[in-house]
Amino acid sequence: MRRNTLKTTWHERFYDFYPLYLASSGGRTLVVDGKVVFENDAAVAALEVLRRGFAEGVLPRSNFALGRDPFTDGTVAMKIIGPWFLKELNELRIRGLHYDVTPVPAADGTDPDNRFAFADLRSIAIFSTTRHPDAAARFVAYLTSPAADRLLIEEASQLPYRRGLASDPRFAAALERWPTLATYATYVERARDIDVDPDVVEIFDLLSEAYEEAAVYGKVPVRQALARAAAEARNIVNAR
């Protein structure tokens, strides 16, 4: 009997389908210029590897919502996660836990230099109604300066969205602060966020449905589930 406590909220795809898809898609996202572009082999490969994982019992069927992290307590061996997790791991200092970092696996035949990663990018904005535009501008300049970026790396184990970060001597020392962070840094130029599209949440919902039926429950073949998600996504995007 399948015991499932997975809740497939749309943003959970940031930790399974989307990174696996980006690794093989050569940087192609989900919807570009109002066109649905995710019905391709990379998406099939991503869903297929997830399907096999669930079918063979190697992927956990729980959200582990009640405060437990399955990676830190040794239940699972691998986890798709961002660099901010390094600080957490370091602080927890779990005895006997040795870890390393590897890029998200890609489909066979993907060019290693063309593998992309998912980055949940954060922006800085100044409101046009601000009463202190100069001070705000100077503060933003500071926040994006090398000094502030070094602070970001050292204090939060997060990465600035900076070209050439991995090979930039100004940041080499900061990156050393956290083990394996340098590996993350090599992907900064090859990072993709979610599309800035009004229907992106709904498209992630559609993909979650495909994920559930094809990968988690294995009720529908991967290509069919993907085709249906793409068709419904096209309906939505074309109705705009």
Partner 1 sequence: MKTLRRIGLYAGLTLAALTFIYPFLWMASSTFKPPSEVGTLALIPDQITLDNYRTMWARAPFGRALVNSTLVATTITLAVLVLGSMTAYAMARLQFRGRPALNAATLAVLLVPGQLTLIPLYTLIVQLGWIDMYAALIVPYLFNATAILMLRQFFLQIPQSLIDAARMDGMSELRILFTIFWPLSKPVLSIVAIFTFMGSWNEVLWPLLVVRDQQLMTLPQLLTVFALGGGAGSVGVSLASAMVLVVPVVIAYMFLQRNFIESMAGAGIKG
Partner 2 sequence: MRAEQRSGSLLAAPYTAFLLLFAAYPIVFALVLVFLQWDLVTAPSFAGFDNVRLLANDGRFWRAVGNTFVFLSIHVPLQIVTALALALALNRQLVLRSFWRAAFFLPVVISGAVVAILWSNLYATDVGLINKLLVRVGLAPVPWLTDPLTAMPAIAAMVTWKNVGFYVIIYLAGLQYIPRSCQEAIEIEGASSWQRFRHLTLPMLLPQTILVITLSTINGFQLFIEPYVMTGGGPLRRTYSVVLYLYTNAFSYQKMGYAATIGVALALIIGAVVLIQRRVMGKAEAL
Residue ranges in contact with partner 1 by CB under 8 A: 65-67
DSSP string, 138-191: HHHHHHTSHHHHHHHHHHH------TTGGG-HHHHHHHHTSTTHHHHHTTGGGE
**Least distance in Å: CB of 202 to partner 1?**
17
Separation of alpha carbons 32 and 214, rounded Å = 25
In the region spanning residues 9 to 48, those forming contacts with partner 2, defined by CB under 8 A, are 9-10
Q: Which stretch binds partner 2 (CB under 8 A): 21-29, 35-43, 69-77, 194-202?
A: 194-202
Q: Report the candidate in 8, 16, 40, 12 with the shortest Cα–Cα distance to residue 27.
A: 40
The one segment of 1-9, 42-50, 96-104, 106-114 that binds partner 2 by CB under 8 A: 1-9
Residue 115 backbone zone (phi > 0: left; psi -120 to 50: alpha; other: beta) = beta
In three-state secondary structure terms, 32 is strand
Closest distance between partner 2 and the C-beta of residue 217, in Å? Answer: 6
* Of residues 149 and 197, the one with the C-beta less far from partner 2: 197
Among 30, 199, 230, 233, binds partner 2 (CB under 8 A): 199
Report the nearest approach of partner 2 to the CB of residue 16 (Å).
16
Q: Does position 3 bind partner 2 by CB under 8 A?
A: yes
H or E segment and range at residue 36: strand 35-36
Q: Which residues bind partner 2 (CB under 8 A)?
A: 1-10, 198-199, 201-202, 205, 209, 212-213, 217, 219, 228, 232, 235-236, 239-240
